[in-house]
Chains A and B, each alone.
Chain A
Amino acid sequence: MAYTADKPKLAESSDELRTRIPGWGADLDPKDRPSVPKERFDPTLNGARWEFPERQPEKWPRERSIEHKFLTPVFGTSCPPKGLSGMIRRYSYRAYSEGRAAHWLLLLAADRVDAVESTLASFLTRHPDNPITETGVLSEFTHHGLPSRLRGKRVDRGHHLLDPVLVAAPWVLAGGAVYLALRRVAGRRRR
């Protein structure tokens, strides 16, 4: 009990646990665990034969955190920044360190812009975005959607309906804007 010196008794002794649970105590010694101690200096451990890695060629101006001294020798080359979202991203990297909320908020804003830009651009290609297949929502019918959601005391039921709203909102807004624009054009013609 917390109010007296001794630790509360456990229901099962170590011996009982060892028989009930396969492997109980296999890593009992706190000093003999792979992540102990946290830092273990051994530069040869990893098989690196270089003091500093060779540099990967930079094929376009690679955006980087201003907390870095230089472009790291190796980096990912997925999705170079493009469009308006790319401009926001570049600005965010150039202007703000990782310590500033503005850095992350701008990057998040760029992500939202990117989704809209890319979706609009997809309509000019042979693979337009399709919210039905891309959300995988049809699995609701093939993988027990409703019964899974209704089973037991799931506390996330309170916000399940927010997901489709979040996904549908940009489409509904875009659809509305297109409708209004068309109506205006049509109205002008009639006049």
Chain B
Amino acid sequence: MRAMVYRGPYRLRVEEKDRPAIEHPNDAIIKVTRAAICGSDLHLYHGMMPDTRVGMTFGHEFVGVVDEIGPSVRNVQPGDRVMVPFNVYCGSCFFCARGLFSNCHNVNPNATAVGGIYGYSHTCGGYDGGQAEYVRVPFADIGPSLIPEWMDDDDAVLLTDALATGYFGAQLGDIVEGDVVVVFGAGPVGLYAAKSAWLMGAGRVIVIDHLDYRLEKASSFAHAETYNFGEYDDIVVHLKKITDHLGADVVIDAVGAEADGNILQHVTAAKLKLQGGSPVALNWAIDSVRKGGTISVMGAYGPMFSAVKFGDALNKGLTLRMNQCPVKRQWPRLFEHIRNGYLKPSDIVTHRIPLEHIAEAYHIFSAKLDGCIKPLIVPNPA
């Protein structure tokens, strides 16, 4: 089969690879119909995530058709159209039994701190991902769901991570009616988080980025008030000014490890890998949220330490909430919101690129060229 393969930082190619096989009785093999590139994939692509091996196939956002099932699989059948959460999880461990699907203890031998994620380095379990023609899906009775008939593949693939994560991020903000919500980052996760904040009754939603084309999307898609931090000497002071010097009730970090805005933080983290991630947006969140407020961190950081301003988080009495998103928990409600017309996930898709050209897709998404917000990957273009 054809599959994307990592060759080293900033380099990947499409190769002929063996088709994945059933390795456990509850495995299924899925024939991928649509995949996507996530902001998280960029951390791998840039060589920031420890134990990212040459030869691995990335991709944790994908949907497809069941091609083959292991002997114990009952909930899906060959031929079913399924969507697969980015979490690999067993359904039965201490954490899964409590709904913490992203924190499963039975699927990742390489680390106890993080669960299993498709195509996301060995630190997340060493599973090949879905930017390929076929992918192995463990615990096929637990994670995958049938795609509702009324839903198209483009919307379904966005539900496997980006939309569920943005929605989860807004929930971790514990938003109450009338809250002022600031979202750092106008990528897919930030756009969906901003949109979701309104569902939870936010009174004002402000999105911060430095890419004007993404901020335009934040205003048209997520009805947000937007500011380009590149135009301000100090974005924290600006946020204080526009919130009556109180600060925001809730701040969502939808940027993560490669945050820009402070060259020292960015270069030491993203280029030199001397810290787990560049906490520029997280530190801005700590500074711009009001005392007693809540920060929801959706941006991903590496397992190493980062230079976070912890003292002021304490001084301000903040609540910091965060996790990898337990995707399937969000689905029933998100299906309703999509059906009701409150959300149209595929509105943020800018590029549909054949698997054979995935190296260009990564470059375009990584360098933020061509107005790119969300690129989808099509393994077998008709």
Interface residues of chain A, those whose CB is within 8 Å of chain B, are: 1-3, 7-8, 10-12, 14, 17, 20-28, 30, 33-36, 38-43, 45-54, 56-57, 62-65, 67-68, 71-79, 81, 85, 89, 93, 98, 101, 104-105, 107-108, 110-112, 114-119, 122, 127, 129-131, 133-140, 142-145, 148-149, 151-156, 158-160, 162-163, 166-167
CB-CB nearest 5 A-B residue pairs: A23-B342, A76-B126, A115-B8, A136-B363, A153-B230
Does B34 belong to the interface (CB within 8 Å)? no
| Least Cβ–Cβ distance between B129 and chain A, in angstroms | 9
- Measured in the bound complex, the distance between the Cα atoms of B13 and A114 in whole Å is 16
A81 to B109 Cα, complex, angstroms: 14
Given B50, B174, B261, which contacts A108 in the complex, CB threshold below 8 Å? B50
Contact status B177-A25, CB under 8 Å: yes
The one of A25, A46, A163 in contact with B142, judged by C-beta atoms closer than 8 angstroms, is: A46
B interface size (C-beta, 8 A): 117
Residues of chain A with a CB closer than 8 A to B257's CB: none
CB within 8 Å for A54 and B72 given contacts A115-B54, A136-B363? yes
A53 to B, closest residue via Cβ: B90
Task: Specify which chain A residues have a CB less than 8 angstroms from the CB of B127 in the assembled complex.
Answer: 76, 78
B203 in the interface (beta carbon within 8 A): yes
A40 to B98, CA, bound (A): 5
Q: Is the CB of A27 within 8 A of B106?
A: no
Most buried by B among A8, A72, A85, A152: A72
Inter-chain contacts of A119 with B (CB < 8 A): 7-8
- Quick one: which of B72, B303, B343, B369 has the most chain A CB within 10 A? B369
Tell whether A79 pairs with B228 under 8 Å between CB atoms, given A33-B171, A63-B109, A143-B370: no
Chain A interface helix/strand/loop/mixed? loop
User: Is there contact, CB below 8 Å, between A153 and B91?
Assistant: no
Which residue of B is nearest A47, CB measured? B141
Contact with A along B329-358 (1 / 0, CB 8 A): 110110001001111000000000000000
Q: Determine the chain B residues whose CB is within 8 A of the CB of A14 once the complex forms.
A: 177-178, 201, 203
Asked if B9 and A167 make an inter-chain contact with CB atoms under 8 angstroms apart, the answer reads yes
Contacts A77-B126, A145-B367: A41 and B109 contacting too (C-beta < 8 A)? no
